[in-house]
Amino acid sequence: MQPRVGLLREFAAAARLDLSEVRRSKWLVFLFLVYGAVAAVFTLVGMRESALFGFTGMGRVLFSTVHALVLLLPLLALFATCQVVNRAREDGTLEMLFGHPMRRGAWFAAVSAVRFAVLAVPLLVLMPALAVTGRVAFGQEIEWAFTARALGTSAALLAAFTGIGLLVSALVRNPGRATTYALLIWAAAVALLDFGLVALMLRWRLNPQVVLLLASLNPVQSARLSLVAGSGTDLSVLGPVGFYLATRTGPAALAALGTMWPAAAGLGAWALAARSFGRADAV
């Protein structure tokens, strides 16, 4: 029991230190502004369209907001984590902390938890607030089911790219290269893999099952599928793949896929990062 208590104390101390660093760097303020700006843009666009076509509902605004965040969240998570280990090495934080009775695993777990929490907490505030705004300001029904699905999917996506960013930070010691790799990973996740899948579909007539499998390997695409399935949209409009999703897979399975696979990918990347950090030199 005593070693466990000591580990928790080390975790809490490291978490307080990293949280102080995050607060000094204004990351929380920046994230609230970014998430709020995305939500405000789609809300204002929806209000402008309502004058001509009738307001389409805060559900549609929330749907569009989340789909925009699906492209933005991986970039924010990568930038929040890809320099964590490098920066701690350069400024002497690791040397100072490990000169005291603090284990590497406690520090790495604490930093990982703080970075994930800082990325996720503004979403936990924004999405319910957006749903309540639609109810109070426009008299729209609150779609709590889709809001909960969007929160779960976004949190899983953040977990995936937080783990990947920490893996980059643990493996790449050069800060410039770490940033470059983070940008390349983001570009591949949000665009390049989709283009590659389209090229394969144009070159060969793939079965819907194969297309789903290849698309689902990308955590961003898994999140998109989960959100589309939870929006009430008729998936058959997407063609053979959409018909397969609507008739064979179902919304519940897509929701599980869009949540569990990104979370599992992030946990796997985090485990590799923790192992690499535990074996590497602290300075």
pLDDT, tens digit, 9 for 90 and up, residues 5-42: 567 888 888 889 888 888 888 888 888 888 888 888 87
Residue 83, amino acid: Q
**Domain count of the chain?**
1
- 2 pLDDT tier (thresholds 50, 70, 90): very low
Is the Cα dihedral 160, 187, 146, 197 positive or negative? negative
Site of tokens 């793949």: 241
Among candidate residues 247, 57, 56, the one with its CA nearest the CA of residue 143: 57
Separation CA 22–CA 87 (nearest Å) = 13
Separation CA 49–CA 52 (nearest Å) = 5
pLDDT beyond 50 at 100: yes
Tokens of 23: 């607060």
Site of tokens 């959409």: 242
pLDDT for res 63: 76
Q: For residue range 37-88, what is the model confidence (pLDDT) as tens digits?
A: 888 887 776 655 544 444 455 667 777 788 888 889 999 999 999 999 988 8
Residues 6+ positions from 57 with CB-CB distance below 8 Å: 134, 140, 141
* Of the candidate ranges 1-15, 88-102, 161-175, 264-278, the one whose mean pLDDT is the lowest: 1-15
Among candidate residues 9, 183, 6, 223, the one with its CA nearest the CA of residue 82: 183
Q: For residue range 122-176, what is the model confidence (pLDDT) as tens digits?
A: 999 888 887 787 777 666 676 778 888 889 999 999 999 999 999 999 999 888 8
- Tell how far CA 102 is from the center of its chain: 29
Tell me the CA end-to-end span of the chain in Å, nearest whole number: 31
pLDDT beyond 70 at 233: no
3-state secondary structure the chain: CHHHHHHHHHHHHHHHHHHHHHHHCCHHHHHHHHHHHHHHHHHHHHHHHHHHHCCCCHHHHHHHHHHHHHHHHHHHHHHHHCCHHHHHHHCCHHHHHHCCCCCHHHHHHHHHHHHHHHHHHHHHHHHHHHHHHHHHHHCCCCCHHHHHHHHHHHHHHHHHHHHHHHHHHHHCCCHHHHHHHHHHHHHHHHHHHHHHHHHHHHHCCCCHHHHHHHHHCCHHHHHHHHHHHCCCCCHHHHCHHHHHHHHHHCHHHHHHHHHHHHHHHHHHHHHHHHHHHHHCCCC
Mean pLDDT of 82-109: 84
Residue pair 217/257 in contact (Cβ under 8 Å)? The answer is no
Boundaries of domain holding 275: 2-279
Residue pair 98/108 in contact (Cβ under 8 Å)? The answer is no
Residue 20, amino acid: S
Cα–Cα distances in angstroms (integers) from residue 162 to residues 78, 82, 113, 215, 252, in the given order: 6, 8, 10, 21, 25
